[in-house]
Amino acid sequence: MHDDLRHDWTHEQIREIYQTPLMDLVFRAAETHRRHHDAAEVQVCKLVSVKTGGCPEDCKYCSQSVRYSTDVDATPLMDVSEVVETAKRAKANGVTRVCLGAAWRSVKDNGQFDQVLDMVRDVTELGVEVCCTLGMLTPEQAGRLENAGLYAYNHNVDTSNEYYDQIITTRKYADRLQTIANVRKTNVTVCTGGIIGLGETDDDRISMLQTLATLTPHPDSVPINVLSKVPGTPLANAADVSVFDTVRMIATTRIVMPKSVVRLSAGRAKMSASDQALCFMAGANSIFSSEAKIMLTKAVPSQSYDEDKALLHQLGLKIRPPFKNAAMRSADASADAVAIDTVAAEPTATV
């Protein structure tokens, strides 16, 4: 196998890739993708916001910050049973990774964390990958999540180190990297990526990718979000991101982190089928789907399970099985892909 896995990327080298004419860039990314992944597979993920809103942080894009007046209300932590029922319906619709998200600055050692640990145990028992995104973690808390069976922890760096203080002032970039390092002390896999459309420059995007692509090992998965503009937040009127910028970002991510799962995340709801197909060609191999078309909160939408089943079927794509992170940790790479036609029809119930 052509070995293109490296961790010494310079800013200039990544910029050269990022600035390649688009068709050449997509072609190269597609080749890289095929060397390291089954390009016929896309992982379908479901994000469950187990604790929505009321967050003290000031992330300028976020519908859940208490500092902005958005139409997302704060809700209490969900019951474990409700989370498990949501996960069961997700699995029945082809989902192989369930992400549990909480609008917290950091995890506190209290009954709520115990309740999230119960969610991790019970959803893991369903046979899907469980990812948590709960804010900052200590090494001890990462260890408790590992002991509960957690497969992945998401903690996005969001943008470049240079631009970070224009987006978030209530924590530092170094805090994000520290939590990622704390997760890396365990066997829990790391999911970290960012958002485009925050007003950043191309060099900020490249700098963010350099931060991620010089981690050793690379993050097991890298979400690329396009800003969902949330009324009431400081970025409500940010400039649109062209689909070709999104494709360029995905292709560059694929080339510099060839084995990572690249997740086409927020912003997909606005994309046409052909836009999404171009993203898959450029190396995206994961999407977020939902019965109620809510990716994170109602301000950050997704497609429905049925729409995504139809899309993947049209494109001849299969659902990537769980626990198949070829490169990274002790994953079960032998599981078979889930054929779209074997996935049950979506139940009518909504979350």
Question: What does the binding site for ligand SAM look like in residue numbers (CB under 6 A)?
Answer: 61-63, 101, 103-104, 133, 135, 155-156, 158, 195, 225, 227-228, 230, 266, 296, 300
**Which of the listed partners (ligand SAM, ligand SF4, none) does 296 bind, with a CB threshold of 5 to 8 Å by partner kind?**
ligand SAM
d(CA 132, CA 200): 27
Strand partners, 55: 65
55 is catalytic: yes
Of 119, 49, 128, 76, the C-alpha closest to 302 is 49
Sole binder of ligand SF4 in the list 29, 42, 44, 57 (CB under 6 A) = 57
- Judged by beta carbon distances under 5 to 8 A according to partner kind, the member of ligand SF4, ligand SAM, none in contact with residue 155 is ligand SAM
Tracing tokens 């309740």 back to the chain, one arrives at 115
Nearer to ligand SAM by C-beta: 62 or 294?
62
Contact pick of 29, 47, 50, 62 for ligand SF4 (by CB under 6 A) = 62
Dist CA 345 CA 351 (whole Å): 16
Q: What is the C-alpha separation between 275 and 99, in angstroms, rounded?
A: 25
Nearer to ligand SAM, 258 or 267 (CB): 267
Nearer to ligand SF4, 6 or 105 (CB): 105
Could you tell me the two tokens for 275?
A: 């836009």
Select from ligand SF4, ligand SAM, none the partner in contact with residue 230, using the beta carbon and a kind-dependent cut-off of 5 to 8 Å: ligand SAM
Least distance from ligand SAM to the Cβ atom of residue 182, Å: 13
The answer to whether 263 is a known catalytic residue is: yes
Decide whether 65 or 189 has the Cβ nearer to ligand SF4.
Answer: 65
Measured between alpha carbons, how far is 240 from 197 in angstroms, rounded to an integer? Answer: 7
Token digits of residue 171? 């924590």
Active site residue: 45, 99, 132, 279, which one? 99
> Measured from the CB of residue 99, what is the shortest distance to ligand SF4 in angstroms?
13
* 209 contact choice in ligand SAM, ligand SF4, none (CB below 5 to 8 Å, kind-dependent): none
In the bound state with ligand SAM, the residue whose beta carbon lies nearer, of 62 and 311, is 62
Angle between helices 243-256 and 11-18 (to 10 degrees): 130
Q: Is position 62 annotated as part of the catalytic site? A: yes
User: Which position among 44, 103, 222, 257 is part of the footprint of ligand SF4 (CB under 6 A)?
Assistant: 103
Tell me which DSSP letter residue 55 carries.
B
Q: How far apart are CA 345 and CA 164, in angstroms?
A: 42
The least distance separating ligand SF4 from the CB of residue 196, rounded to whole angstroms, comes to 15
The item of ligand SAM, ligand SF4, none sharing an interface with residue 65, based on CB under 5 to 8 Å by kind, is: ligand SF4
Residue 227's closest CA among 264, 248, 196, 253?
Answer: 196
Active site residue 99: yes
8 A C-beta contact, residue 197 and residue 241: yes
- Report d(CA 21, CA 25) in Å as an integer: 6
Single out the catalytic residue among 45, 132, 191, 279: 191
d(CA 292, CA 294): 5
When asked if residue 95 is in the footprint of ligand SF4 (CB under 6 A), the reply is no
Find out whether 33 and 86 touch, Cβ atoms under 8 Å. no
Element (H, E) at 62: none
Catalytic residues: 55, 59, 62, 99, 131, 191, 263
Q: Which residues bind ligand SF4 (CB under 6 A)?
A: 55, 57, 59, 62, 64-65, 103, 105, 135
